[in-house]
Amino acid sequence: MTTLISLTYAETDLDALAAVEGKLAVLVTSDGKLDPAGRRVNRLTKQAIARLVESERWEKVKVGEGASLGFPAGLAASALLVVKLDRRPSMKAARKAGASLAKFKAKDNLAVCVGGLGRAADLALGLALRAYEFDAHKTAEKTDAAAAMIYCTKPEEVELEANTAMAVAEGVFFTRDLINEPANILTTQEFSDRLEAMKQIGLEVEVLDEDALEALGMRTLLSVGMGSESPSKVVVMHWNGGGDEKPLALIGKGVVFDTGGISLKPAGGMEDMTMDMGGAGVVAGVMRTLALRGARANVVGVVGLVENMPDGRATRPGDVVTSMKGDTVEVINTDAEGRLVLCDIMWYAQERFEPVGMIDLATLTGAIIIGLGHENAGVFSNSDTLCDAFLKAAGAEDEGAWRMPLGDAYDKMLKSRVADMKNVGGRAAGSITAAQFLLRFVKDETPWIHLDIAGVASVKSDSVLAPKGATGWGVMALDRLVRDGYES
């Protein structure tokens, strides 16, 4: 797994700043005020910070961003970054500042003077998240990641708070690594092995093989992997940190590669389908975070791991398969396979665990990208209470999410001539009819959310907290939801 940057925390030593090697950063408020460290560095550099703050260049710097000075006189540091950030910043601004520091740091050691900054732990989290780099398959010689020192007024308090944030960051990194992995590396077997390895951090992990899935009646899930040499699996992860209450269930689609099956996708862009296990990746990252921070809640994560390939044994358009629930499904399009995986494991989770709530995540439809782009996940729910709680958590963590509609009119689009339902309802409202399909496998008493993360799981350009590629979207929001609503 990609390791987090090494962060250490220490009391600010003004007399030592001149000798700091590597790169150095100080904070200046949006109205130009300097803290003691800023004033000392300003004096050492013969008023270079003051001249910067009075310039037009500084006016163009946004809150949370910075301006750099190369080889500043009076300092041993090779570069100085002056970051615009108020003493009591918003969470978003603090994390953005941390991300700016990570980009400025590059491969060098970094010292950051934050003084008595509020939300220093959020700045540390932003720095850690943006320092991520997936280079597991590059052959260039790798060196240990350079470290960062955070100088502050109460280092013990900041470190204690930041350690919890680093558990979240490690969950995000785990998710990003899984989503970024190529499919010839992250097979269904490798995926399940990595999840089983989390027993070492306190999770209970079970792996159900194809014989067990057949015995349970998970025939829609098994139908997706019929054309693959990789065996289909379901992995169940338990975190029992609460009392005797029923768990929250997190359900993840884990299609390690999606060719579309017999309904073959176009060649252009098919290489991106290594990320079609993004829902399972997020569930895995959340479970890792909960274990690392010792969450006082009961949560179960269930992921279905399959590969959708064309083969003589593959499911054909027009085939009818029977779900674990007992409903029959006419497969109109084998490229609408994610819902066939989810419906069985959703039913399994409800039958076995009777969860207090259930949230499924899937890179399910291209239609959600047409509707919401890459800024928001689509949110579908049968429960205003659970949905509002999730949207609040996502908003608090600045992870974009937008509620979408459900309704009987959309449900009628799934009517089949030969089975209980079709797996697709046509081009119109494609993400909504996919959610309506899943709703048929939600018990009346189960509060449920479906998150279509096709647009946010992996992106083509850098975002504030991540380089291009896997984002880890959802780990922070779901951890926040557990923290705020399910911990005892």
Kindly report the CATH number assigned to the domain that includes residue 21.
3.40.220.10
46 and 90 inside one domain: yes
Q: Assign 3-class secondary structure to 291-304.
A: HHCCCCCEEEEEEE
Tokens 């390690």 correspond to what residue? 256
Active-site residue, selected from the candidate residues 105, 293, 339, 480: 339
244 and 103 inside one domain: no
pLDDT in tens, the chain (488 residues): 999 999 999 999 999 999 999 999 999 999 999 999 999 999 999 999 999 999 999 999 999 999 999 999 999 999 999 999 999 999 999 999 999 999 999 999 999 999 999 999 999 999 999 999 999 999 987 766 679 999 999 999 999 999 999 999 999 999 999 999 999 999 999 999 999 999 999 999 999 999 999 999 999 999 999 999 999 999 999 999 999 999 999 999 999 999 999 999 999 999 999 999 999 999 999 999 999 999 999 999 999 999 999 999 999 999 999 999 999 999 999 999 999 999 999 999 999 999 999 999 999 999 999 999 999 999 999 999 999 999 999 999 999 999 999 999 999 999 999 999 999 999 999 999 999 999 999 999 999 999 999 999 999 999 999 999 999 999 999 999 999 999 98
- Domain count across the chain: 2
Parent domain of 329: 170-485
120 and 222 inside one domain: no
Q: d(Cα 287, Cα 282) in Å, to the nearest integer?
A: 9
Task: Answer yes or no: are the C-beta atoms of 28 and 21 closer than 8 Å.
Answer: no
In a domain, 191, yes or no: yes
Q: Encode pLDDT of 107-129 as tens digits.
A: 999 999 999 999 999 999 999 99
143 and 182 inside one domain: no
Q: Encode pLDDT of 386-423 as tens digits.
A: 999 999 999 999 999 999 999 999 999 999 999 999 99
CATH code: domain of residue 197: 3.40.630.10
Count other C-beta atoms under 10 Å from residue 118's C-beta. Answer: 15
100 and 204 inside one domain: no
User: Which of 94, 123, 153 finishes a domain?
Assistant: 153
Q: d(Cα 12, Cα 202) in Å, to the nearest integer?
A: 37
55 and 187 inside one domain: no
43 is catalytic: no
In a domain, 2, yes or no: no
User: Which of 118, 153, 188 finishes a domain?
Assistant: 153
86 and 223 inside one domain: no
Q: d(Cα 44, Cα 310) in Å, to the nearest integer?
A: 67
Phi-psi region of 233 (alpha: psi -120 to 50; beta: other; left: phi over 0): beta
Strands 233-240 and 204-208: antiparallel
61 and 88 inside one domain: yes
* Residue type at position 422: K
Query: In angstroms, what CA-CA distances link 50 with 34, 44, 47, 88, 114?
Result: 9, 12, 5, 21, 18
355 and 263 inside one domain: yes
Residues sharing a CB contact under 8 Å with residue 124, sequence separation 6 or more, in sequence order: 7, 98, 150, 158, 162, 165, 166
Buried b (16+ CB within 10 A) or exposed e, 277-306: bbbbbbbbbbbbbbbbbebebbbbbbbbbb
Q: d(Cα 347, Cα 440) in Å, to the nearest integer?
A: 10
232 and 177 inside one domain: yes
174 and 229 inside one domain: yes
Active-site residue, selected from the candidate residues 265, 296, 403, 443: 265
In a domain, 367, yes or no: yes
Half-sphere CA count of 302, side-chain side, radius 13 A: 24
23 is catalytic: no
Q: d(Cα 98, Cα 102) in Å, to the nearest integer?
A: 6
246 and 127 inside one domain: no
